Structure 1
Amino acid sequence: MLLCMGSVAFAQSKKSPTLDQIFKEGIFRGHSVYGINWMKDGQYYSKLVREMGAEKVVKMDIQTGQPVGTLVSSKVLTDLLGKELHIDGYHFSADEQKVLIETEHEAIYRRSSKSHYFVYDRQANTVVPLAKGEKQSFATFSPDGKMVAFVRSNNLYVTNLSDMKEQAITTDGQFNSLLHGMGDWVYEEEFSLAKAFKWAPDSKSIAYLSFDESEVKQYTMPIYGTLYPQQYTFKYPKAGERNSEVFLSVYHLDNQKSTEIQKGKEKDIYIPRIYWSADGKSLSYIWMNRLQNHLELRKANAFTGEYSLLLKETSKTYVDLDFNDQIYFLKDGSFIRTSEESGFKHIYLFNKEGQQLRQITNGQWEVSSIVGVDKTHKKIYYLSKEESTIADQFYVIGFNGKGKKKLSTREGNHSVNFSNDFKYYIQYQSNIHQPLRVTLHNAKGKELKVLEDNQAQKATFDKFDLGHKEFMTVKAADGQTDLNAYMIKPSNFDASKKYPVLMFVYGGPGSQMVQNKFPSYRDAWYGYLANQGYLIVCVDNRGTGGKGRDFKHITYKDLGKYESEDQIYAAKQLAKKSFVDAERIGIWGWSFGGYMSSLCLMKGNDIFKTAIAVAPVTNWRYYDSIYTERYQSTPQLNPHGYDDNSPVFHVDQLKGNFLLVHGTADDNVHFQNAVELENALISANKQFRTFYYPNRNHGIYGDNATRHLYTMMTNFLLEKL
Structure 2
Amino acid sequence: MKKTLILSILIMLGVSAFAGTPFTLEDAVSGNFRAERQMFVTSLPDGEHYACLVKGKVLSYNYKNGKQSGVLFDPAVAKGDKIERAESFVMSPSGKKMLIATEIKYIYRRSFTAVWYIYDCSTNILARLSAEPCQSPVWSNDGNKVAYVRGNNIFLYDLTAAKETQVTFDGKRNEIINGIPDWVNEEEFGFSCSLCFNADGTQLCWIKYDESNVRTYDLQLYKGLKPANEDYADYPGYYSYKYPKAGYDNAKVTAWSYDVKLGVTRELQVPVEADGYICRLFQTSDASNVLFVTLNRHQDKMCVYATNPVTAVAKLIMKEEVDKYIPEVAYNFVMTDKGFVMISDRDNFRHIYRYSMDGKLLQKVCPENMDVTAVYGVDSKTGDIYYQAAPTPMTRHIYVAHRNSKIERLSVKEGTNSATFSATMKYYFNTWSDCNTPYICTSNTNKGKILSTIIDNKALCDKLSQYDMPQKEFFSFTTSEGVVLNGWMMRPSCSSSHKCPVIMHQYSGPSSQQVLDSWRFGSMGEGAIYDAYLCSLGFIVVTVDGRGTGCRGAEFEKCTYLNLGVLESKDQVEAALWLAKLDYVDADHIGIWGWSYGGFNTLMSMSEGRDVFYAGVAIAPPTNWKFYDTVYTERFMRTPQENPDGYAENPIARAAKLHGKLLLCHGTADDNVHPQNSYEYSEALVQADKDFRELLYTNRNHSIFGGNTRKHLLRQVAQHFVDALKK
What secondary structure is seen at the aligned counterpart in 1 of 2:495?
coil
- Partner residue, 2:80: 80
Contact 2:624 2:652 in 1 (8 A): yes
Equivalent in the alignment of 2:660: 656
Structure 2 counterparts to residues 123-142 of structure 1, below 5 A: 123-132=122-131, 134-142=132-140
Q: Which residue of 1 aligns with 2:515?
A: 514
The code of the aligned residue for 1:433 comes to N
Match of 1:28 in 2: 33
Q: Distance in 2 between matches of 1:330 and 1:656?
A: 55
Matching residue of 1:219: 217
The answer to whether 1:533 aligns with 2:531 is no
Q: Find the aligned partners of 2:660 and 2:281 in 1 and give their Cα distance.
A: 50
Q: For residue 125 of structure 1, report the CA deviation from its aligned partner.
A: 2.5
> What letter is aligned with 2:396?
D
State the 1:362 CA deviation.
Answer: 4.2
| 1:688 paired residue among 692, 697, 701 | 692
- After superposition, where does 1:211-360 map in structure 2 within 5 Å? 211-225=209-223, 226-264=233-271, 266-322=273-329, 324-331=330-337, 333-360=338-365
Structure 2 counterpart of 1:275, one-letter code: F
Give, in whole Å, the separation in 1 of the partners of 2:36 and 2:334: 33
Q: Is the 8 A contact 1:318 1:631 kept in 2?
A: yes
Indicate if the aligned counterparts of 1:508 and 1:544 stay in contact, CA closer than 8 A: yes
Q: Tell me, what secondary structure is at the counterpart of 1:340?
A: strand
Partner of 2:491: 489
Distance in 2, matches of 1:401 and 1:130, equals: 46
Is the contact between residue 35 and residue 526 of structure 2 (CA under 8 Å) also seen in structure 1? no
**Partner Cα separation in structure 1 for residue 336 and residue 464 of structure 2:** 47
Greater displacement, 423-432 / 600-609: 600-609
Q: Deviations over 1:56-113 (max 9, x none)?
A: 2112222332223222112124x633x5443111122222222211111110000000
Letter of the 2:447 counterpart: K
Matches of 1:344 and 1:115, distance apart in 2: 41
Aligned: 1:579 with 2:580:
no
What's the secondary structure of 1:148's corresponding residue? strand
Distance of aligned partners of 1:696 and 1:374 in 2 relative to their CA distance in 1, 3 Å threshold: same
**Structure 2 residue identity aligned to 1:177:** E
Q: What one-letter code is carried by the residue in structure 2 that aligns with 1:253?
A: V
Are 1:476 and 1:542, in contact at CA under 8 Å, matched by a contact in 2?
no
**Secondary structure of the corresponding residue to residue 514 of structure 1:** coil
From the superposition, tell whether residues 145 and 353 of structure 1 become closer, same or farther in structure 2 (CA, over 3 Å): closer
Matched, 1:114 2:113: yes
Equivalent in the alignment of 1:203: 201
Which residue among 385, 389, 404 is the counterpart of 1:384? 389
Secondary structure of 2:40's counterpart equals: coil
Q: Whole-Å Cα distance in 2 between the matches of residues 427 and 313 of structure 1?
A: 32
Which stretch shows the higher mean deviation, 41-50 or 549-558?
Answer: 41-50
The residue matched to 1:463 in structure 2 has which SS?
coil
CA distance in 2, matches of 1:335, 1:227: 56
1:522 Cα offset (Å): 6.6
Asked whether the equivalents of residues 86 and 104 of structure 1 are also in contact (C-alpha less than 8 Å), the reply is: no
Residues 1:37 and 1:336: Cα distance change in structure 2 (over 3 Å): closer
The two structures have a TM-score, normalised by structure 2, of 0.94
- Indicate the SS of the match to 2:349: coil
The CA distance in 1 between the partners of 2:38 and 2:664, in whole Å, is: 37
Which residue, 442, 445, 448 being the options, matches 2:448? 445
Question: Percent identity over the alignment?
Answer: 35
Instruction: Determine if the alignment matches structure 1 residue 542 to structure 2 residue 540.
Output: no
Distance 1:497 1:514, change over 3 A: same
SS in 2 for 1:595: helix
Show the counterpart of 1:428.
431
Q: How big is the shift at 1:372?
A: 1.1
Q: Is 1:145 aligned with 2:132?
A: no
Aligned to 2:90: 91
CA gap 1:101/1:328 in 2 versus in 1, 3 angstroms:
closer
- How far did 1:302 drift? 2.1
Deviation at 1:330, TM superposition (A): 4.0
Sort the Cα spacing of 1:119 and 1:213 in 2 relative to 1 into closer, same or farther, 3 A. same
**Gapped runs of 5+ residues in structure 1?**
none
The answer on 1:597 being equivalent to 2:609 is: no
DSSP-derived class of the 2:398 partner:
strand
CA contact (8 A) 2:207 2:253 kept: yes
Instruction: Mark the runs of 5 or more structure 2 residues left unpaired by the alignment.
Output: 224-232
Give 1:547-626 correspondences, 5 Å limit. 547-604=552-609, 606-626=611-631
Distance 1:431 1:692, change over 3 A: same
Take 1:521 and 1:714, find their aligned partners in 2: how far apart are those partners?
A: 18
1:405 and 2:399 are equivalent in the alignment: no
SS of aligned partner of 1:74: coil
Counterpart position of 2:229: none
Shift of 1:12: 5.6
Is the 1:605–1:653 Cα contact (8 Å) retained in structure 2? no
CA contact (8 A) 2:276 2:294 kept: yes
How high is the TM-score relative to the length of structure 1? 0.95
Q: 1:265 to 1:281 in 2, by over 3 A?
A: closer
Contact 1:477–1:569 under 8 Å retained in 2:
yes
Q: Equivalent residue for 2:155?
A: 157
Q: Which residue of 2 aligns with 1:454?
A: 457
Q: Quote the offset at 1:393 in angstroms.
A: 0.5
